[in-house]
Amino acid sequence: MKALSDAIGARRDDLIRLTQDLIRIPTLNPPGQHYHDICAFLEARLAPGGWDCEMVRAKGTPGDCAAYPRWNLIARRRGTRPGDCVHFNSHHDVVEVGAGWTRDPFGGEHDVAQDRIYGRGSCDMKGGLAASIIAAEAFVATCPDFAGRIEISATADEESGGFGGVAYLAERGDFADVQHVIIPEPLHKDRICLGHRGVWWAEIETHGRIAHGSMPFLGDSAIRHMGAVLDEMERTLWPLLAGRHTEMPVIPEGARASTLNVNSIHGGEPDLGPEFTGLPAPCVADRCRITIDRRFLVEEDPAEVKREIAALMERVRERRPGFRYEIRDLFEVAPSMTERDAPVVRTTAAAIERVLGRQAGYVVSPGTYDQKHIDRIGKLKNCIAYGPGVLEMAHQPDEWIGVTDMIDSARVMALVLNDLLGQPGESGRP
Ligand SMILES: [Zn+2]
């Protein structure tokens, strides 16, 4: 263990440089910029060290086009004897910069005094990607006759659902012969993320009848109908959801219950934007739409989640003459939670204890991430998110990753490799 720990300590400058280089490739999503550049950069880094690199374009997936092709990279390193495959998956896309920055978002600035590297995507999750690469390289150098196979993937579009990334690779069968998956998302170096809550997005539309705004009694306001829907949610649904608690260790604690957010509301004449300087016209709204974002628990049945909304709409309909509505499904993901005694969980927990001298915490993410595709499409349950970084920093201005946190989590990841591939181990698949 000391040799491995030293090998990672010796790579500190390399880790800093690698993280900076990754941040300096602005892989903004949307629209999906520089995906080829970052995959080519990683290939140039890994191929000379004996990694078989494959670039995969997720053709025909959402957003994929000549201007913004959805490129992914998988690097594979085979051991000298049979064994399991440990796969590190990181997304290479980052979200928009937003306002409020005091540092260059794509400068990769290393603040030595604060022991931090700044930049969009530093925490979520190029720091995690860099840490997993350093961990794998240090392990291979220290234990060249390892068993099985190590894989590192850098994938597209996690921030927009992962369909041009992990979902595409899973459909191709890239996880069929993988036994353990670690996703180095920023969940803190001493915590293991077992999975995530479920999600259902839907659009609800109420219908009315247009009329002159000075004689609203001649029309039927879709906005007033929607007001009744929101009122019903306020009085009956939100209190009910807040009281529905889960055994999942979701963080933050507020997300340890069912939640519903109304993402948007649109009714009446369209929003003509800030350039439009005219006055509105007086009309009764003939339609009103909301999109809802319902997050649910392993204890909840997805069909029941939908029935609950349908029943709410029916209650409103019974009270309101002329009330007409539609519910349209937009997106749905089932909750995912890996068992605590799964091999990758136990091995990582033991490594955290050895490297950091404290017990691992177990958490579940309030929102989904690429584990959903590995679970549902890849049919692999032995998957966790584990990586450096402060979760609350993700998507914020002046996003940063701690260098010591990256080093520590690289030590944990290398130790996991050592435990799973450095000696005869147990398999992650039954
Ligand atoms: Zn992320």
Note down pLDDT in tens along the chain; length 430 residues.
799 999 999 999 999 999 999 999 999 999 999 999 999 999 999 999 999 999 999 999 999 999 999 999 999 999 999 999 999 999 999 999 999 999 999 999 999 999 999 999 999 999 999 999 999 999 999 999 999 999 999 999 999 999 999 999 999 999 999 999 999 999 999 999 999 999 999 999 999 999 999 999 999 999 999 999 999 999 999 999 999 999 999 998 889 999 999 999 999 988 888 899 999 899 999 999 999 999 999 999 999 999 999 999 999 999 999 999 999 999 899 999 999 999 999 999 999 999 999 999 999 999 899 999 999 999 999 999 999 999 889 999 999 999 999 999 999 999 999 999 997 544 454 4
CATH of domain 198-271+279-333: 3.30.70.360
Coil, strand or helix at 375: helix
pLDDT at 426: 44
Residues serving a catalytic function are 93, 158
Distance from residue 313's CA to the centre of ligand 1 (Å): 35
Residue spans per domain, the chain: 2-196+335-421, 198-271+279-333
Helix (H) or strand (E) holding 200: strand 198-207
Using N-to-C axis directions, what is the helix angle for 403-421 and 343-356, rounded to 10°?
130
Q: Structure tokens of 344?
A: 């990758």
How many whole angstroms separate alpha carbon 97 and alpha carbon 397? 7
pLDDT at 274: 87
Q: Specify which residues 331 forms β-bridges with.
A: 201
Short-list 228, 199, 224, CA closest to 209:
224
Distance from residue 114's CA to the centre of ligand 1 (Å): 23
- Could you tell me where the beta strands, DSSP code E, fall in 34-146? 52-57, 71-78, 81-91, 110-111, 116-118
How many whole angstroms separate alpha carbon 233 and alpha carbon 315? 11
Using the CB atoms, write b or e for 241-268: b if 16+ within 10 Å.
beeeebebbbbeeebbbbbbeeeeebbb
Distance from residue 175's CA to the centre of ligand 1 (Å): 20
CB-based contacts of 221, cutoff 8 Å, min separation 6: 208, 284, 285
Q: In whole angstroms, how far apart are CA 384 and each of 225, 330, 375, 381?
A: 44, 27, 10, 9
How many whole angstroms separate alpha carbon 254 and alpha carbon 368? 16
**Sign of the CA dihedral with 211 first, then 216, 217, and 222 last:** positive
Distance from the Cα of residue 80 to its chain's centroid: 34
Distance from residue 126's CA to the centre of ligand 1 (Å): 9
Distance from residue 94's CA to the centre of ligand 1 (Å): 8
pLDDT at 402: 98
Cite the DSSP H helix spans in 261-396.
Answer: 302-319, 343-356, 371-376
Q: Structure tokens of 410?
A: 């690289």
pLDDT at 246: 93
Q: Determine contact, residues 388/129, Cβ cutoff 8 Å.
A: no
Distance from residue 112's CA to the centre of ligand 1 (Å): 25
Distance from residue 6's CA to the centre of ligand 1 (Å): 29
Q: Structure tokens of 405?
A: 């946190």
Q: Which CATH number fits domain 2-196+335-421: 3.40.50.150, 2.60.120.10, 3.40.630.10, 1.10.238.10?
A: 3.40.630.10
Q: How many residues in the chain?
A: 430
Distance from the Cα of residue 97 to its chain's centroid: 17
Distance from residue 383's CA to the centre of ligand 1 (Å): 15
Coil, strand or helix at 266: strand
Cis-peptide, bond into residue 252, ω within 30° of zero: yes
Other Cβ atoms closer than 10 A to 2: 6
For residue 428, report the phi and psi dihedrals to the nearest 5 degrees.
Answer: -80, -10
| pTM of the predicted structure, to 2 decimals | 0.88
CB-based contacts of 321, cutoff 8 Å, min separation 6: none
Other Cβ atoms closer than 10 A to 26: 16
Residue at 104: amino acid letter: D
CB-based contacts of 96, cutoff 8 Å, min separation 6: 28, 30
